[in-house]
Amino acid sequence: MDDVEILKFTRGNTYDTELQLAFFTRLSGELQKLNFINKHSDLEFAILFSGKGFKDTTAIKFNAKWLREENLLIYMIDLLVLGGVITNYSLNSLIEKHFKIKDVATQRYNFQPHLKPDNYKEIDSIVEQLILELSVDEDLHRTLMTTIIKKANNNIRSKK
């Protein structure tokens, strides 16, 4: 996964939240289009993964369901950890909580360290392509996500 290193998802000791949001919004759309996951809000998916990584708590209820082999989701998330996109903090329990997948550690053990799950190349291809697309103009994607965040914050304030 050399392409994962093209983008740096951190700024010093903190994560580049705007770039993460852009990546996960695009990843969500692509996963839905290819029927890896059911229809859901792309931004909901992105918020779940933004910041330090998978979030234990979020104001948004994540109800999406993974439709393909469970070990492909686990592989994809592990790939994102290896690429520095997210951290591995409480990863197994968060996958189990948000995606309702049981025995994540056992499933991970069945394909690591030398074995990869069947169809892993599909996940590699999706992640590599999105990272290449984002790397073409990182600042444009950051600006777009910053604008979306500002609009969302303004909407929240106006409802109070």
Whether 145 and 106 have beta carbons less than 8 Å apart is answered as: no
- Model confidence pLDDT, tens digit, residues 64-119: 899 999 989 999 988 888 877 887 777 788 788 888 888 888 888 776 656 788 88
pLDDT of 153 > 70? The answer is: no
Domain encompassing residue 21 = 2-152
The answer as to whether 113 is a domain residue is yes
Query: Within 13 Å of residue 140, how many CA atoms lie on the same side as its CB?
Result: 5
Q: What is the pLDDT of residue 100?
A: 87
Q: Are 126 and 34 contacting, i.e. CB atoms less than 8 angstroms apart?
A: yes
| Structural domains counted in the chain | 1
Whether 158 maps to a domain, the answer reads: no
Residues in contact with 74: Cβ distance below 8 Å, sequence separation at least 6, in sequence order? 95, 101, 104, 107, 108, 111, 117
Q: What is residue 72's predicted lDDT score, i.e. its pLDDT? A: 92
Classify residue 16: in a domain, yes or no. Answer: yes
Check if the beta carbon of residue 80 is closer than 8 Å to that of residue 110: no
- Residue predicted with more confidence, 8 or 49: 49
Query: Is residue 134 in a domain?
Result: yes
**Residue 160, in any domain of the structure:** no
pLDDT tens for 35-72 read 999 998 887 788 777 754 555 555 666 778 999 999 89
What's the confidence (pLDDT) of residue 12?
Answer: 63
Quick check: is 101 in a domain?
Answer: yes
Is residue 157 included in any domain, yes or no? Answer: no
Q: What is the pTM of this model?
A: 0.79
pLDDT at position 130 is 87
Q: Is the pLDDT of residue 30 over 70?
A: yes
